Amino acid sequence: MGEYTDKRLLEMFQNAKTRNLAFNHIINQNQERAYWHIRKIVLSHEDANDVIQNTFIKVWKNLDKFKGDSKIYTWIYTIATNESINFLKKKKKHYFESLDLVSYRLSENFSADSYFDGDDIEKKLQEALLILPTKQRIAFNMKYFDKMKYDEISEILGTSVGALKANYHHAKNKIEEFLKEN
Amino acid sequence: MYKKTDIEDLERRIPFTVPSGYFQELKFEIQKQCITKEKDSGFSVFQFKTLVPALGILLVFITLFNNIETTISEVELTKNDLIAYLENNLSDELLYEYAILEDEKEDDELSDEIDYLLEYDMEYNLIINQL
């Protein structure tokens, strides 16, 4: 299936006859990277599966209002990020815990998770990531694993490039310190 | 003393996996969810776009109908309003003339009744009582 430009996909989505076809293309082009973005935030596969579906339901409902000011994939990343944070907030309410503590509790399940195949250092790195505040962790993941440009991360998270650079440097030091001590 | 690890040197691999064939199924699951949600919502975007103008037209009709009713009510109230208007706005002379006309009208109605009673040989006492 060939890739369409964002402009073409949006035109197709506006037309009732090609609406479903356009949406299929959008899912195909974005579902994997959106899933991995979400998975790195919520960690468990079952939770990521719920959040990715909610994300695309929101995409479906709101795509006709999308003006095309940004790329479709950055817009989907933004929705996925918000959905993931909201998901963690719901967990926080459920357990009466802080958002960051919820993230930390998620790390306790690494060993039991059948969909985790990391070695010791990868497991340690994931645990180290969970000492970061949630939003800092999300930004770090996007830069470190997804190798996204600061401009793109800035657009998705609504944080200035300068603040992101400082945060990345700070997060890197904290992680390396954690790895040294553990 | 442990050596500090430089994370830039590590392999940047995401240590998570998904069930086999997951992304193939995910696509269909998302499509199914979107269709279900749309059906559950009761009406689609298309129906919404149709419903809004229809409700607008209905609202205009209701407003117009209410205005017509208001006009009819105003017509029905005109006699009462006219008396109030006359009392407030017309000169004393005109009101006096209006009062005389009203008395004459009442007198005419009374004399009609007397004529009727006389014509059918009614009791005089009854006539006097009527007067």
**Residue A46 at interface with chain B, using a CB cutoff of 8 Å:** no
- Of the candidates B10, B23, B46, the beta carbon closest to that of A31 is on B23
Contact B13 A60 (CB under 8 A): no
State phi, psi for B6 to the nearest 5 degrees.
Answer: -90, 110
Residue contact B27–A39, C-beta within 8 A: no
Cβ distance of A118 and B15 shorter than 8 Å: yes
**Structural domains in chain A?**
1-97 (1.10.1740.10), 118-182 (1.10.10.10)
B62-77 tens-digit pLDDT: 887 777 665 555 555 5
pLDDT-derived band of residue A143, with 50, 70 and 90 as boundaries? very high
Directed axis angle between helix A120-129 and helix A161-181, to 10°? 130
Contact A161, A150 (CB under 8 A): yes
The alpha-carbon gap from B77 to the nearest alpha carbon of chain A, in Å, equals: 53
Q: Does residue A171 register a pLDDT over 90?
A: yes
Nearest neighbour of B5 by CB, restricted to A43, A117, A180: A180
Question: Is B15–A119 a contact, with Cβ atoms under 8 angstroms apart?
Answer: yes
Contact B14 A31 (CB under 8 A): no
Query: Which of B1, B2, B3, B5 best probes binding to A when mutated, by most A CB atoms within 10 angstroms?
Result: B5
At residue A37, the 3 state secondary structure works out as: helix
- pLDDT tens digits, chain B, 131 residues: what are they? 556 778 888 888 989 999 999 999 999 999 998 877 666 665 555 566 677 778 888 888 888 777 766 555 555 556 677 667 666 666 666 666 666 776 666 666 666 665 665 566 556 565 566 56
Q: Which residues of B touch A116 (CB under 8 A)?
A: 15-17
**Model-level pTM?**
0.67
CB A60 within 8 A of CB A93: no
Does ipTM surpass 0.85 in this model?
A: no
**DSSP category for residue B105:** H
Cβ-defined contact of A144 to B12 (cutoff 8 Å): yes
- Which residue of B lies nearest to A146 if distances are taken between CA atoms? B12
Residue B16: phi and psi, rounded to 5, are -120, 155
Contact between A180 and B4 using a beta-carbon 8 Å cutoff: yes
Q: How far apart are CA A52 and CA A38, in angstroms?
A: 7
Measured distance CA(A145)–CA(A118) in Å, rounded: 14
Judged by a CB distance cut-off of 8 A, whether residue A53 touches chain B is: yes
Tokens of residue A166, six digits: 């400082």
